[in-house]
Homo-oligomer: A and B are copies of this chain.
Amino acid sequence: MKINQFATVKNEFKTELRELINSHFVANESVLEKSPMVVLKSLLQRCYPEMPSVNGADFKIDQLMATENLTATQLLKNEHALTVTQFYNLALQLLQFEVGVDFNLSDPISALNEINLPHLTVADFTTQDLLHAWYLLLTTHTKNGQSFLDHLATKGYFAKLLQTTQLPKPFLFNGKAQAVFDTNNLIREVVYVESDQDTDHDGQLDLLKVEILRPEETETGLKVPTLYTASPYNQGTNDEAGEKLTHNVDVPLTEKPVISPTLTDLQASEAKPATLPAKRDVKGNASHAEQSFSRESSYTLNDYFLARGFAVVYAAGIGTMESDGFRTTGDPEETTSTVAVIEWLAGNRQAFTNKKDHIGIEAWWSSHHVAITGRSYLGTLAIAAATSGVEGLDTIISEAAISSWYDYYRENGLVIAPGGFQGEDADVLAEETFSREKQAADYLPIKPAWQAALSQMGQEQDRSTGNYNSFWDDRNYRKQLASIKADILMVHGLNDWNVKPKNVWKMWQGLKDLPVTQKIILHQGQHIYINNFQSLDYTDMVNLWLCNKLLGVQNNADEILPDVLVQDNTKVETWNAYQDWGGSAAPIELNLSADKLTSDAAPSAISTFTDQLSEPNFTHYKSHYANWRHDLVSTDSTPMAANRLIFKTDPLTKEVVLGGGATVSLRVASSQSVGMLSFRLIDYGVAKRLSVSPQLLSRNALDEGYHWREDDLKEFQLASATPYKLISIGHLNLQNQKNSYQTEKLVPNQFVDVSIDLQPTVFRVQPGHQIGLVVYATDMEMTVRGNQDIQYQLDLSGCHLTLPLQEK
């Protein structure tokens, strides 16, 4: 087992001692005059706040061993020196590691090194050593994914202390906010923010429902920062209606007209109507809401911060249940609605207590410092809001976020489904999230207008060409990167084929020269949250980051947190820090030759494959993607053998660490006037690899506070050995030889040169493995599937592959 902590602040002893005193582990500085053993006893007795009596704590202490022959109780009775072995034997047990399973009493230091836990190396402890070691211990993670101090808090450490003592709120320890707020007494309110838009064209500015949870302490004057999650899903989804609208993908690829617009042509986006409805008159003001809710659709990371003195607000935006407006899937109107909530939280926008009485309500409890959190569409709206440069938005944490919707639903002139959602498109998602539909009295009057809007979106998204057009240009947040003022923490899965890694790669590249701090964490998962892993202190990292950005705590978050943190794909529980993603100067250049990837000169040879599949294979693959995926890349004889070309390197003699996106350049001909190519970069080699999804280690093991909401502890584990692993993918319409918005005529059997950047990654290919490139046409999971009779030829003299490397 290995635990990786990146959010620990290194302090001087003076600071450590002050924090130990403030958190009541020791009474005052006179503790330094006591013997280590006396101090240790009093520290250990504080480790069982769940016990109503000192007797109870002593019973727990009595279960601990200090050495192979000495119990903790026996140790504490004598006045001998405290050795490093004795202390760390006890410390490991406190951290929930087991004797004989996780470590041996004869040598706790080896275990600390192996698990990667910080520790002192002195032989005998002075009292100051002990206090320093105790401070480190409080910031060290237990076996169950929490810092030891968080673990104590979930057992009631602060709750018990607060029965007799005042603590400053928020309460900081090691630069991070601690769980001192009582989540039983949270205040839950609903307000309606008035936005400068009328997306349902009803002649009234859209009102947007906002659900607020804030600490009770705000009622007595505490101003708190806010974590805002903008989730179009959180008022419910129209799954059946969405499914009905899902597009048929069993259609042929069709020839596109030749067009050559410029990017400027596409930017002639529909402006907002010049005259908006007037703002509502304010007919009175209320200090408290008249509406509330019982259970919000929550994010456990937000729950964690509710116990630590942050307010949390959820808003679903235009077109969702109990808000006004229509869903627009990523356009500027949606951004406007997302930003309106921040403006209210920053004191710059009007909100009302309900939708009809015009009674105003302010976020008087807000410190005007806001962060956005969330994954997928939620993280996407974080990016959207950031590109507005709105005042009050100090940081965003965007996880698995879309940075341009073209990169979500399209690629190089092809309609490309997000992994797992074949046939979905912008209109489907709009319908899915249009939760006003769930309330009949609200929906029925606007149904015709909504259906018309939906139909228009269906046309503008233009599935017939798959080209980048003004609809998609409107939904490209990266055009406004220069407006961003918020610092950004990005998280993305290197195996996320839903929101593909290109979305975050282009953010990373685009932000480099801007005056904001950016950090990125790349994990080996798919489209997941990572705040419940055993091996990484992600939650602590976010805590450090938010205390710095929202509370102004001088904790050096920018310096302490690594710029680029990447989960290793070859080893469990391993996270590597880098200064940049990719960034190595000399890529590997390879040519395609027969079935090889080689540095030899490109041969004059033609390789061919056909796209069409016979039955029952075609029909079978349509509903058995795993079989299709296997048969596509397996070098065994499969029904797909004639339907793709596979090129492989020789077995590698040393490890290669890919970093960034591979580029494939091809000279290719299609037998028809249409054509598409798909690519898979594969790591061939039998190996045990990380499980596809993190595995459940312990249900409900993570209490986000004290008797508060819980999360499961998870971790990627090694799965059974597999013969290969997907590294990256890419897709291209052969009519889009220059870019995604201009098209060319494709002459049957005439060669054209194309080039495509595959999805970026960081990937270690082990010695003995082979890197493979699979070239094919129809992607059962992502492209249209007309099963057309098309033959493709590659002129290998014009084919090569560039593999960029990750800097050390």
* Interface pair A56/B707, CB less than 8 Å apart: no
In whole Å, how far is A598's beta carbon from the nearest beta carbon of chain B? 32
Among residues of B, the one whose C-beta sits closest to the C-beta of A706 is B294
Assess whether A442 is interfacial by the CB under 8 Å rule: yes
* Interface pair B50/A292, CB less than 8 Å apart: yes
* Interface pair A441/B62, CB less than 8 Å apart: yes
| Cβ contact of A98, chosen from B64, B72, B438, B444, cutoff 8 A | B438
Among residues of B, the one whose C-beta sits closest to the C-beta of A182 is B184
Determine, out of A12-20, A99-107, A545-553, the stretch whose residues face the partner at the interface: A99-107
Complexed CA–CA distance, A440 and B709 (Å): 31
* Interface pair B440/A289, CB less than 8 Å apart: no
Within A320-377, the residues touching B (CB, 8 Å) are 322, 354-355, 357
* Interface pair A51/B184, CB less than 8 Å apart: no
Assess whether A53 is interfacial by the CB under 8 Å rule: yes
* Interface pair B623/A720, CB less than 8 Å apart: yes
In whole Å, how far is A111's beta carbon from the nearest beta carbon of chain B? 13
Complexed CA–CA distance, A52 and B292 (Å): 7
In whole Å, how far is A446's beta carbon from the nearest beta carbon of chain B? 13
Assess whether A649 is interfacial by the CB under 8 Å rule: no
In whole Å, how far is A620's beta carbon from the nearest beta carbon of chain B? 12
Q: Chain B CB within 10 Å — which of A59, A71, A440, A444 has the most?
A: A440
* Interface pair A441/B52, CB less than 8 Å apart: no
Given A184-B184, A184-B707, A707-B184, are A441 and B65 also a contact pair (CB < 8 Å)?
A: yes
* Interface pair B354/A64, CB less than 8 Å apart: no
Assess whether A248 is interfacial by the CB under 8 Å rule: no
* Interface pair A99/B50, CB less than 8 Å apart: no
Q: Chain B CB within 10 Å — which of A184, A294, A354, A720 has the most?
A: A294
Assess whether A439 is interfacial by the CB under 8 Å rule: yes
Assess whether A121 is interfacial by the CB under 8 Å rule: no
Assess whether A648 is interfacial by the CB under 8 Å rule: no
Within A574-633, the residues touching B (CB, 8 Å) are 623
In whole Å, how far is A703's beta carbon from the nearest beta carbon of chain B? 7
* Interface pair B53/A291, CB less than 8 Å apart: yes
Assess whether A290 is interfacial by the CB under 8 Å rule: yes
Given A354-B59, A441-B63, A441-B65, are A50 and B294 also a contact pair (CB < 8 Å)?
A: yes
Among residues of B, the one whose C-beta sits closest to the C-beta of A290 is B53
Assess whether A154 is interfacial by the CB under 8 Å rule: yes
| Cβ contact of A56, chosen from B71, B290, B295, B720, cutoff 8 A | B290
Assess whether A156 is interfacial by the CB under 8 Å rule: yes
In whole Å, how far is A753's beta carbon from the nearest beta carbon of chain B? 43
Within A61-106, the residues touching B (CB, 8 Å) are 62-65, 68, 71-73, 93, 98-101, 105
In whole Å, how far is A320's beta carbon from the nearest beta carbon of chain B? 13
Complexed CA–CA distance, A99 and B709 (Å): 33
Among residues of B, the one whose C-beta sits closest to the C-beta of A156 is B294
Q: Chain B CB within 10 Å — which of A68, A437, A441 has the most?
A: A441
Q: Chain B CB within 10 Å — which of A93, A438, A623 has the most?
A: A438
Among residues of B, the one whose C-beta sits closest to the C-beta of A58 is B354
In whole Å, how far is A87's beta carbon from the nearest beta carbon of chain B? 15
Assess whether A55 is interfacial by the CB under 8 Å rule: yes
Assess whether A155 is interfacial by the CB under 8 Å rule: yes
In whole Å, how far is A686's beta carbon from the nearest beta carbon of chain B? 14
Given A50-B294, A93-B440, A99-B440, are A59 and B289 also a contact pair (CB < 8 Å)?
A: no
Chain B residues closer than 8 Å to A51, beta-carbon distance: 290-292
State the number of copies, please: 2
Chain B residues closer than 8 Å to A156, beta-carbon distance: 294
Among residues of B, the one whose C-beta sits closest to the C-beta of A65 is B440
Assess whether A240 is interfacial by the CB under 8 Å rule: yes
* Interface pair B55/A444, CB less than 8 Å apart: no
* Interface pair A439/B63, CB less than 8 Å apart: yes
In whole Å, how far is A776's beta carbon from the nearest beta carbon of chain B? 25
Within A716-738, the residues touching B (CB, 8 Å) are 720
Among residues of B, the one whose C-beta sits closest to the C-beta of A189 is B52
In whole Å, how far is A59's beta carbon from the nearest beta carbon of chain B? 6
Chain B residues closer than 8 Å to A357, beta-carbon distance: 55
| Cβ contact of A50, chosen from B50, B56, B293, B441, cutoff 8 A | B293
- Residue-wise interface mask of A (452-487) relative to B, using a CB-CB cutoff of 8 A (1 in contact, 0 not): 000000000000000000000000000000000000
Chain B residues closer than 8 Å to A93, beta-carbon distance: 440
* Interface pair B154/A294, CB less than 8 Å apart: yes
Chain B residues closer than 8 Å to A703, beta-carbon distance: 295
Given A65-B441, A72-B441, are A55 and B294 also a contact pair (CB < 8 Å)?
A: no
* Interface pair A65/B444, CB less than 8 Å apart: yes
In whole Å, how far is A433's beta carbon from the nearest beta carbon of chain B? 15
* Interface pair A59/B707, CB less than 8 Å apart: no
- Residue-wise interface mask of A (280-311) relative to B, using a CB-CB cutoff of 8 A (1 in contact, 0 not): 00000000111111110000000000000000
- Residue-wise interface mask of A (235-246) relative to B, using a CB-CB cutoff of 8 A (1 in contact, 0 not): 000101100000
Complexed CA–CA distance, A63 and B321 (Å): 10
Chain B residues closer than 8 Å to A72, beta-carbon distance: 441
* Interface pair B55/A354, CB less than 8 Å apart: yes
Among residues of B, the one whose C-beta sits closest to the C-beta of A444 is B65
In whole Å, how far is A218's beta carbon from the nearest beta carbon of chain B? 16
Among residues of B, the one whose C-beta sits closest to the C-beta of A190 is B56
In whole Å, how far is A233's beta carbon from the nearest beta carbon of chain B? 12
Complexed CA–CA distance, A190 and B59 (Å): 12
Chain B residues closer than 8 Å to A98, beta-carbon distance: 438, 440
Q: Residues on A close to B: CB < 8 A?
A: 50-53, 55-56, 59, 62-65, 68, 71-73, 93, 98-101, 105, 154-156, 184, 188, 190, 238, 240-241, 288-295, 322, 354-355, 357, 437-444, 623, 700, 703, 707, 709-710, 720
- Give the 6 A-B CB pairs with smallest separation, nearest first: A99-B440, A65-B440, A63-B439, A50-B294, A155-B294, A53-B290
Q: Could you write out 20 A-B pairs with CB less than 8 Å apart?
A: A51-B292, A52-B292, A53-B290, A55-B290, A55-B357, A59-B291, A63-B322, A63-B441, A64-B441, A65-B444, A72-B441, A98-B438, A100-B437, A101-B238, A101-B240, A101-B241, A105-B440, A154-B294, A184-B707, A623-B720
